[in-house]
Structures are given as structure tokens and as C-alpha cells.
Structure 1
Amino acid sequence: MADGTTSKAGYVAAEVLARAGVGRLYTVPGESFLEILDAAEGHPDLSLISTRHESGASFMAEADAKLTGAPAVAMATRGVGASNLAIGVHTARQDSTPMLVLLGQVETDFLGREAFQEVDLTAFYAPITKWSATVNRADRLAEFVARGLRVATSGRPGPVMLALPADVLGERVPADPGIGVQTPPRPGPSPEQVRDVVSRLAAARRPVVIAGGGARNARGSLVSFAEAWDAGVYAAFRRQDVFPNEHPNYLGHLTLGTPPETLKALEEADLVLVIGCRLSEVTTQGYRLPCGDQAVIQVDIDPAEVGATVPTEVGMVSDAGAALAAFGAQAPSQPPSRNWAGAHGAYLESSTIPPVRASEGIDPSQVVGAMLKTLPGDALLTNDAGNFSIFIHRYWRHNHPGTQLAPTNGAMGYGVPAAVAAKLAAPDRTVVACCGDGGFLMTGQEMETAVRYGAPITVVVFRNGLQGTIALHQKRDLGRMSGVEIGEVDLAGYARSLGAEGHTVRDPDDLAPALEAALASDTVSLLDVVTDPDVISPTVRLSELASGTS
């Protein structure tokens, strides 16, 4: 590999990754980046995770980084691998997750000739990354890797892509790159802004907080702030673990299909403090909330996000934890009394498991009910996209930090790969992947990856034989369904063929025992739960939509 003073550039790049604290590199191996594969496999501080599909690799890297806060690496080869990888990179972009994407590229002499599997990777990835570049010189590869990690973790975190021509990776360069990765600066609030915000908080009658992913690592400060100022707290879309859900100041989750009674406190708020949240379409309920007559204070580490979607009266560029601590330090000795009992009670009522509505198969809410009875409170749930996930978000209460991994871009296929990465990153945690049959059939083969690397996850599939979200839209808007049926698949048998345990559950009485057996197992387990396709959401039946009664 090295002669004492020089080494191939690919090996030096791997050393930069290790020194920066990167732990895992997820990939489908390709011939265009052999040196990095070999270096990662042999490095004592790096783990090379070979997946069954590039989408699985990118989802795993995204989930790993979201859970740990440290960037993970996703790798693929040229145009074909890059295309498959892109879905997880888009997820990282919309979820503000730090990720470094390394794509093998055709040899430098062949660039621009539409060589075998060639795509202009820099242009391809530019819209879904913070920075994309092609590294044409081996002696600058270490520099580009260090810069990529810095960009990925600074400001609003996100993915960075580097395209690596195969010949560049094999060139010899100094073995010690002499390059470190700088820790990005974390800005804090100015004293003048803090005084302004504190005066507004003191004057407000019904101040509420919308907390996003940027506040995830400031959970303690957020709780202290909410208690000191008696402010109500909402969790942004799929950020439910940012604040304990059974805390009396918790008001609910701003998600798809948010119950009207949950939104009432936000609609009536006279001051909205947005912390570490980009105010996405879903969180704002279609850019409807906060509304124009409400005072908005937005705190974000990235200046480009402040006021980007909703006008603000005060915009503050700051680390979420630093801002919350500063606001809390100037809170009155006696907290204001604003009484959130009614709003919190509305959340608790809406998140209580309801009576069974299923007429055939199992009610999806019963599945969540069984999970609540059998899983530890700090279990880490990953979920796919689909209507089944509404039941998870509605009825599971996140009272512990780091218990939710879910794609805010609504990418199908996320659940299983995310669970694999979570178990590799946190092997002592109970990790459960929640999937619909549509999403599961896209990436369920990554259970083999879990088996191979000894990551005993539990997979719960809500199988209703439909692409449920699209079926709901079609029935509601058109009165009929098209192309949404999923055939009868023996998912338990499929799991067993991949080396996992597989169980089919058709009776609700069997749910809890099956979950208990899966949790007690020391291997990967799948529960194929046959649910009622008519119970399409917590409030709607497909048959009611078809008859025009809902």
C-alpha cells in the first residue's frame, strides 16, 4: 500500500475520514473506487458495510448520521450507482443530515466522451447536495475530502458529493496528508437579540415553540426553556423525539393529517418561536401556519433558512442550544402561568389507541398498541413512508431522545435500511423498523445485510396489499384506484430466505406474543402483520371515500 513516504490517494482519503471521526462507509462495491474500498476494509477505525442496493447504502448513511450527529459515507460507482444512490442523498438534503458521498468516476482521459457508465456527476448531484465537485488531482484529494466533511457539518448540515476518477485514486501522494477537519463554528445569539426576544416572551399571552431537527441535540435546554417560560411546544414533521411527548407543555406533532384540535393552540398563539426548523410544507400545514398576524421569531444556525418560508419579526442566526440557554437564563424567577392543560389534553386524547375499526384483518392502531405494550419506552423506531406511518406518528409517544428515524422527504424504502444502520451505530438499542408492504418490497433485501453483520433488528410490516397513500388520494379525488394493488407475497418466507426469522400475524391476539418472541430473538426478525386495507388512516375508510360519505 505504501513505501513509507507515499501512498495511493484512495488510502490517504480513507485516513482523512478516520481522523475526522467517520465510523462507517456504506456501499455497493464498484470497480471505479477500488482503493477506497480496500483502505476502508483494512483500516482499524473504519467499517465497510456492503449493502444489497445503493438506495439501501444511502439510506443507511443518512440514518447513521442523523442518529449519531457525525457524518457517514455513502459510496457508489459512476452513473448507474449514482442514480440508485440519489434517493438517500435527497433524503439527507431535506432532512438536513451530514453525509459525504463518494462516487467512482471514469478515468480522467475518458471524461466528456460518454464513456462506459459516464454521467456528469457534479451536475447530476448539484441540486440535492450542499456542494458537489470532481477531484481531478490526486494531490488534492485529501484537501477535498476534508473540505467536504466541513461543508457537510457546517451551517444547515447536508450531503456533499465528490466524484473520484478511478485513475486519481491510484496515484501516489504523500502518505501523511497533514490535513485535519476543522470543527465548524457554532454561532451564538447577540445580547441585544436576546433582550429583544426575552421582552417579547414576557409580553406574550400564548407563546408556542416549533422545534425541528436543529434542536434535537438541545433537548435538555428546550425542556428547561419551556418550563422557565411556560411555553407550549410542537414537534416539527417527524421530529417527535425533540421534546418528551407526555410533558405537560407538549402540544403535538405537526404532521400529515394533524388533528384540528391539535392545531388549535398554534392557531391561537400570539408568538411563535421557531427553533432549528426550516418550516417545511408539512410542518406548516401547507405553508398556512404560522399565519400572517402572528409574531414569528426564528432561530437557525443557517442564515439562509431564517425567514425563508415565513416572514419573521426577529431572525437570529445561532446554535439552538446556545439560544435556548440564553433565553432561559433571563426567564423570570416565577414562570408565567399560561395553562396548557387543555391543549396537552387534546394531544393525549388524539394519541390514545381508539376502538377497533377493522372488519377484516388487523386494525393498524392495534399494531401500535401491541408495540406500546411490549417495546421498551426508549426503543428506536424507524419508519418508511406511507399511510401506515400516520398510525405510528399518531399513537406512539416519544418520551426519550433519539427514538425516531424517519424521512421528512417521504422516501419509500427507508425503514429497513435505517434500522440496520441504527443497530450498527447503537448495538445496545432496541431497534424496530416499521414499514408498509410497498416500501418494504423496495429495500427489504437489506435484512440480509443485517443478518450478515450481526445487527438483530425487528421489522414490522403493515401489509394491506395497497400503495395506501396513493390509493387514498385516488379514491378521494377520482373515486377509483389505479395501479396501487400489491400482490400476495409471503413476506415471512422471504425473510427466512434471507437468514432472518419470519412470522405472519393475522389475529390481533397474536400481536404481542409475536413481538415478544421477536424481541427475545438474537437474530433479525420480521412480523408480517395483515392489516385491514379499508382502515386507511386514523380517521378515514377507503369505502367511505368511494361512497362519497367522507
Structure 2
Amino acid sequence: MHKLSSHRTAAAALVEQLRINGVEHVFCVPGESFLPVLDALRDSGITVTVCRHEGGAAMMAEAIGKTTGRPGICFVTRGPGVTNASAGIHIAQQDSTPMIMFVGQVETSVREREAFQELDYRAVFGSMTKWTVELDDPARIIEFVSRAFYTATSGRPGPVVVALPKDVLSQRVNIANAPPFEPVETSPGEEEMANLGELLADAKNPLFVLGGSRWSEAARRHIHEFAERTGLPVATSYRRSTLFDPLHPLYAGDLGLGPNPKLVARAKEADLLVLVGGRLGEIPSQGYSLLASPSPQTKLVHIHPGAEEIGRVYRPHLAIHASPSRFVAALKRLKVTAKPAWRASADAAHADFLAWTDTATPQPGDVNLGEIMIWLRNHVPTDTILCNGAGNYASWIHRFYRFREFMTHVAPTSASMGYGMPAAIAMQRLHPDKLVLSVNGDGDFLMSGQEFALAVQYRLPIIVVVCDNGMYGTIRMHQEREFPGRVSATELHNPDFDAYARAFGGFGAVVNKTSDFPAAFAAARQSGLPSIIHLKIDPDAILPAATLSGIRERALAQA
């Protein structure tokens, strides 16, 4: 462990405070603007992952924050370095993820001159973060780091940016360390819980919807116990399906992209909607169509750790300012009489979910991504972590793969492309003994595919699946709806992704038929190397229940 005297550099004090706060992993692209920090990290005991692009470093840190509930940490250099990393900051903001990004800054003596790579970080990141600050006084480094941890995790979690002038990092300070932070948990009041009990007593057709962050294994267990005691149906919001076991008989499905229409109808017909932890943003609200804004006709109970989020879009019938973990723990004390109609509704909803997800729909071409997702869910361990970014290929993940354990799906609710590869790196670093999958579209993968070099460098046996249909599929789908037959700026010319893997020193395989996938997957696992499995997808297979040609024909008929 790094020996730190009471008279140390500000950089050394910063790194020691990270260690005190339990930081085990840091992601960075090195920069001369924070060399003193790199030197302090060398002997700190903190694992440093050196990335190939700042966007990848930020996404890796965000993935750590998303899955652990404690701030993910990244260091990037000033100017182009930090602007490269901005995509990860935006993901952390929209996904309510605790994250702290430390960024180098020009020397204090040349600020405000537009010095080399100088940026005004407060102006650039002020609308994307919970707090952006620049360190002026090295004696306040401990204060700023401590505050950054509390700010990132309290209320609605989110990103914090701390700018570090190069000369300030090198100055010596004589300051004491701060104790480790503990996230501030808000608990529901007895009056609010009693009101919830009354609402449930009157409800004929209630539905619980789980979302947001600040959950835990224990919280997940508590909501399962409450659902079993009451027979209430439970749904999850967009990319939060790991909050409830999909094979539990009370699970109704997820309100994400391409959801089961029967679930959407159930949500609209509910006479009481209990939203736990989430915001019911544009995707889970189905374009803000589930409820009227600002005053829903459905009775809405909104439980959220950030008071500023309650009433922001929807005025709730009952507002409960509490973190999900404290709220679901309090449900144990709530006296609710189960109603046979609730259980009947839950049974029907679960049957609809199984019917919607059990069997892959027929697809054009020789590779059926739905069948591959079903094969994976039946053949990989339940603690396998699947990471993905954005693209139409994710529709098959949402519909056919089943996430049986907590935080085994790591994907951005902001639908940011390029996320699947960096997130998989972070997860394999965090969980070296688990199987980690990265599922990507072709355009999606090449936004951060260079991070595959890290998997080889650090010997991380990630299995990467690249779904190659030779286009930006989501944009092409919308293009065919609005400008049928007029293809523009959506075609891609791709490399041989299996050869790409071998060029880095990994394993590569190509799949031209669905039946080829099991053998390719087995060979990838047996190799022990980072692997890429290249799926050749028919361009017409655009969604599980639609084809590109069908979308075009309907658009032309309506024109």
C-alpha cells in the first residue's frame, strides 16, 4: 500500500481518499495534465484499466456505478480527452448512475487565455451533471472528493465532474483524510405508507412497475416477498428487467422498446399504478402515452429517492420520497389483504409474457437472432452478465433473453451506441469468474470496438457477438417509414469481424446459419481468449415482428 505522510501532494491525497471510499477500479486514458495522479495510483492498490478512448473509459466507469451503486471512477485529460468522454457522462445522467470523472486542467496561471486544450468545465458539463467543480485550492481536495461521492449517490444518483489544474495536483498539503461516505437513504413516512395501504385496499386492478437505480439484492428479495404475499402483478421498466425474476409467476413483463402490446394495455387499464424508483420516462411510458400529463386519470403512486423528480412530468396521487431499498423494506410492515382478482390478473399477465417470449418469430435469412437469444438463455449460467449498447438488434435481447439474477443486464437506458464493449470490459474486471457477453450491432460495435484490445491486453475472456446487417438498422427502419425506398446515409461496409478479433490476438468465428451458433460459442469459450462471433444477419430482419420490406411497403401504400 502507498505510504502517505501528512505532508503529501494533492494528487496523493486524492488517491488515498479514493481508496478510503472503497474504490477498487479506475478507468483512464493517460494524460500529461494529471501525471501526479498516475504516479500516486501506481502504488495505491487500486486496479487501473488503461483504455483506448476516453468514451470507453467513461462508459466503463458508468457500468461500475450502475451495477454496484457506488460511484464508478474515471480519469481523462483536458480538452479533446474530456469531450470524448462526454457520452459516458450523458449515459450516467439519463440512467441515474453514480459516477465521478476527474479531468485534468490547464495551470491556474494561464486560465482564461484559451490556453492549450483549455475548457470551461462548468459551462460544458453544467447541464449534464449533478455537480461540476474546478479545484483552486489544493487544501480542499479532500473536501471536494468527499462531496463528490455524496453528491453522486444521494437522491437521484448521477455524474460529477471534478477538474484538476495540473499545478494544483503537484502542490503539497497537510490535511487529514475524511471518513468514507455512506449513501444517504430516505425512508417512507408512516402516513404515506398508510395511504398506500388504503389505495391498495380500494384497487381492483393495480400494477407495480419497478425502475430506476439505488436497488440492491436485498431490495429485490423484499419486492419478491411482498408480491408473493399479496399476489400483485409486477412489471419492470426499460432495461431494468433484472429487478424481478422473469420466471416468477407474478412477473408481467417489461415496459421497454417493443413491449408486449398486452402489457401496455394492462398498464393503461390499471386503476392504480405504483411506480417504484423509476421516472417513467419516454421509453417506459411509450412516448408518454400510458398516463396523461401532468394529471393522470389513473391513480399514480410515485416512489423516488429524488424529491425533484416527483411531479416533474406526472402529478402523483400519492408521492413517497424514499429510496427503493428503504421503500420495499417498509413494505414488510404494510398490512395488505390479498385479493383473488389480483392473483388472477397476475397469472394472466405472466401467461401473456411467456407466450410473448417463449418462441422466436420467423425471420428472413439463415440467422435467426431470436433463436440465438433463446439458445443463450437456455445454455449459459444464470449469473452470466450480458452487456449491450443501442440498435434494433437489442429488441431480440429484450424479448427473448431472460435475466434471472440481479444486475446481469448492463445496458444504457439512454440507448447510447458503443456501450456494449466497454461495459463488458468493466464487468469482466469486476467479476473475473463470471461469463460476460457483449452483444452489439455492427455500427454499434465499431463505435468502441478498439476496446477489444483491452480484453486481449488484460486477458479477459469476454465473448462478443456482432450482429452484422450492413447498416444502421434503427435509422434505416425509421427512414423507410418516413422516406420509403430512399436510402440515404444508413448503409455500412463492414470488416470481417472474426478476422478483426484474430488481428488483436483473440478468437474469431463467423456464423452464417443459426445452427452454426452453438459450435461457435463452444469454441469461443474453449479458447479462453477474448472472442468475437460474427453473425451474418439478413438486412430485411429489422425487428422480431416486422421486416424492413414490410415497413417500406406499408409506408408506400399509405403515401
Q: What TM-score do the two structures reach when normalised by structure 2?
A: 0.95
| 1:374 and 2:362 aligned | no
Q: Which residue of 1 aligns with 2:409?
A: 404
Q: Which moved more, 1:335-344 or 1:1-10?
A: 1-10
Q: Which moved more, 1:380-389 or 1:349-358?
A: 349-358
Question: For 2:73, what is the secondary structure of its paired residue?
Answer: strand
Q: Which residue of 2 aligns with 1:202?
A: 201
Alpha-carbon distance change, 38 to 544 in structure 1, aligned in 2, over 3 angstroms: same
How far does residue 88 in structure 1 lie from its aligned partner after superposition?
0.6
Alignment of 1:265-304 (within 5 A): 265-291=266-292, 292-304=296-308
Alpha-carbon distance change, 10 to 349 in structure 1, aligned in 2, over 3 angstroms: same
CA distance in 2, matches of 1:502, 1:534: 25
The aligned amino acid for 1:283 is: P
- Tell me which of 540, 548, 551 is aligned to 1:545: 551
| 1:86 and 2:86 aligned | yes
8 Å contact kept, 2:230–2:337? no
8 Å contact kept, 1:211–1:275? yes
Q: Which residue of 2 aligns with 1:440?
A: 445
Q: Which moved more, 1:418-427 or 1:346-355?
A: 346-355
Identity across matched positions, percent: 37
Q: What TM-score do the two structures reach when normalised by structure 1?
A: 0.96
How far does residue 335 in structure 1 lie from its aligned partner after superposition?
5.8
Q: Which moved more, 1:156-165 or 1:373-382?
A: 373-382
CA distance in 2, matches of 1:274, 1:280: 11
How far does residue 501 in structure 1 lie from its aligned partner after superposition?
0.7
Q: Which residue of 1 aligns with 2:177?
A: 178
Q: Deviations over 1:273-321 (max 9, x none)?
A: 0100011110111111134210000111110111212110110111212
8 Å contact kept, 2:276–2:303? yes
Q: Which moved more, 1:455-464 or 1:250-259?
A: 250-259
How far does residue 542 in structure 1 lie from its aligned partner after superposition?
0.7
8 Å contact kept, 2:360–2:400? no
- Tell me which of 326, 344, 349 is aligned to 1:343: 349
Structure 1 gap ranges (5+): none
- Tell me which of 461, 469, 473 is aligned to 2:466: 461
- Tell me which of 511, 514, 521 is aligned to 1:515: 521
Structure 2 gap ranges (5+): none
How far does residue 169 in structure 1 lie from its aligned partner after superposition?
0.4
CA distance in 2, matches of 1:92, 1:535: 31
8 Å contact kept, 1:25–1:40? no
8 Å contact kept, 1:500–1:525? yes
8 Å contact kept, 2:157–2:213? no
8 Å contact kept, 1:73–1:101? yes
Question: For 1:146, what is the secondary structure of its paired residue?
Answer: helix
How far does residue 334 in structure 1 lie from its aligned partner after superposition?
5.4
How far does residue 526 in structure 1 lie from its aligned partner after superposition?
0.9
Q: Which residue of 2 aligns with 1:57?
A: 57
8 Å contact kept, 2:209–2:276? yes
8 Å contact kept, 1:149–1:181? no
Alpha-carbon distance change, 429 to 335 in structure 1, aligned in 2, over 3 angstroms: farther
How far does residue 460 in structure 1 lie from its aligned partner after superposition?
0.6
8 Å contact kept, 2:200–2:336? no
How far does residue 407 in structure 1 lie from its aligned partner after superposition?
0.4
CA distance in 2, matches of 1:370, 1:343: 24
Q: Which residue of 2 aligns with 1:356?
A: 362
Q: Which residue of 1 aligns with 2:313?
A: 309
8 Å contact kept, 2:214–2:325? yes
Q: Which residue of 2 aligns with 1:162?
A: 162
- Count matched residues: 547
CA distance in 2, matches of 1:406, 1:533: 24
How far does residue 165 in structure 1 lie from its aligned partner after superposition?
0.5
Question: For 1:141, what is the secondary structure of its paired residue?
Answer: helix
| 1:29 and 2:30 aligned | yes
Q: Which moved more, 1:420-429 or 1:1-10?
A: 1-10
Q: Which moved more, 1:180-189 or 1:111-120?
A: 180-189
CA distance in 1, matches of 2:336, 2:159: 41
8 Å contact kept, 2:27–2:57? yes
CA distance in 2, matches of 1:240, 1:219: 11
CA distance in 2, matches of 1:188, 1:3: 39
How far does residue 331 in structure 1 lie from its aligned partner after superposition?
2.9
| 1:212 and 2:217 aligned | no
Alpha-carbon distance change, 224 to 335 in structure 1, aligned in 2, over 3 angstroms: farther
| 1:43 and 2:49 aligned | no
Q: Which moved more, 1:331-340 or 1:395-404?
A: 331-340
CA distance in 2, matches of 1:26, 1:279: 31
